[in-house]
Amino acid sequence: MKFGTISLDFKRLSLEATFSVAASYGFDGVELFGTRSHFSPADFTPEAARRVATLADKHGIEIPMYTPPDIGMPLCTCSPFEAEREDSVRYFCRAVDIAAAIGIPRVLIVADHPGYIVRGRETWANLVGSMRRICRYAGTKGVRMVIEPLTPMESPVVCSADDCIDLIDDVGEDSLYAMMDIVPPTIVREPVSRYFDLLGDRLDYVHICNTDGVTDAHTRLGNGVLPVHDVVRVLKAHGYEGWVTAELYSEMYYDPELMLSNTGRFLRDVCREEGIACRLR
């Protein structure tokens, strides 16, 4: 496994500071969140992309995923409004261009809440249509699109492993993969193992945190209802060797280095006990 953090948790610091702190605690990578202080889709130029790639190389940090903000914005791939869907397609194609320019292999995408205007079957058809266009474009650039399930409180469209595999099947594009954020399966009472059973090698990424089991809170690894040590054991038992990125925006946002130190120490100790190779300090 490789371990990373998401730059969302460091949005009050510069991107260089984020890379520097992550490297100092032995993390392999930083998932690049599209905040203005790091790399907003609106600020894309080839020169800006080269600066990001140079910074990552300087600190020995990989960027496994580009995550453009797309929740609570006037963007929605499954919106009942054609103009909003069209804006979403253009937005994510631009995110693909950014990933390709920097050398990032993946772009994260979610199905934001479409509202209560049309029936679920129409919402699903809208999502599939938008995703097919985005994924076809991503395929031409050699970039993977990775769908992230949300909790039902955030959006009812893609919330489970079943939803992910249905979307992959219906879109029918080789560039579409799925990830597991540990919170949605906890909220919908779904076994972690089901992601492996249904998705197989289409499971391409993991977000790890803890949770209160009721809301979409992403809390530090030792604080919540989940036995996170055992989550890592389950990942290992299923042969998962991909990226595990900590996303902890609900706690210690005011001191991200303290948060990352706690995360690194927790995961380092788990890896030592479970015989998992890592660079965490």
Q: In this predicted model, what pLDDT tens digit does every residue of 162-177 receive, in sequence order?
A: 999 999 999 999 999 9
pLDDT band of residue 136 (cuts 50, 70, 90) is very high
Distance CA 169, CA 100 (A): 25
Q: What is the mean pLDDT of residues 10-33?
A: 97
Q: 51 is written with which tokens?
A: 């600066």
Q: Which pLDDT score is estimated for 253?
A: 81
Q: Which pLDDT score is estimated for 250?
A: 84
* Residue-wise pLDDT tens digits, 241-269: 999 999 998 887 889 999 999 999 999 99
Quote the percentage of the chain above a pLDDT of 70: 100
- 211-228: burial string, b at 16+ Cβ within 10 Å, e else: bbeeebbbbbbebbebeb
Q: Which pLDDT score is estimated for 125?
A: 98
Neighbouring C-beta atoms of residue 119, cutoff 10 Å? 10
Distance CA 13, CA 238 (A): 36
Q: What is the mean pLDDT of residues 262-278?
A: 97
Burial class of 142 by CB neighbour count within 10 A (0 to 12, 13 to 18, 19+) = exposed
Distance CA 69, CA 66 (A): 10
Task: Check pLDDT > 90 for residue 24.
Answer: yes
3-class secondary structure, 31: strand
Task: Check pLDDT > 90 for residue 38.
Answer: yes
Q: What is the mean pLDDT of residues 24-30?
A: 98
Residue type present at position 161: A
Task: Check pLDDT > 80 for residue 71.
Answer: yes
Q: Which pLDDT score is estimated for 49?
A: 96
Full set of structural domains in the chain with CATH: 2-274 (3.20.20.150)
Neighbouring C-beta atoms of residue 252, cutoff 10 Å? 18
* Residue-wise pLDDT tens digits, 192-216: 999 999 999 999 999 999 999 999 9
Distance CA 147, CA 177 (A): 6
Tokens 């097919």, residue located:
132
Q: Which pLDDT score is estimated for 252?
A: 75
3-class secondary structure, 203: strand
pLDDT band of residue 57 (cuts 50, 70, 90) is very high
pLDDT band of residue 123 (cuts 50, 70, 90) is very high
Q: What is the mean pLDDT of residues 46-73?
A: 96
Tell me the pLDDT of the chain averaged across its residues: 97
Going from the C-alpha of 109 to that of each of 99, 153, 219, 281, the distances in angstroms are: 13, 17, 22, 31
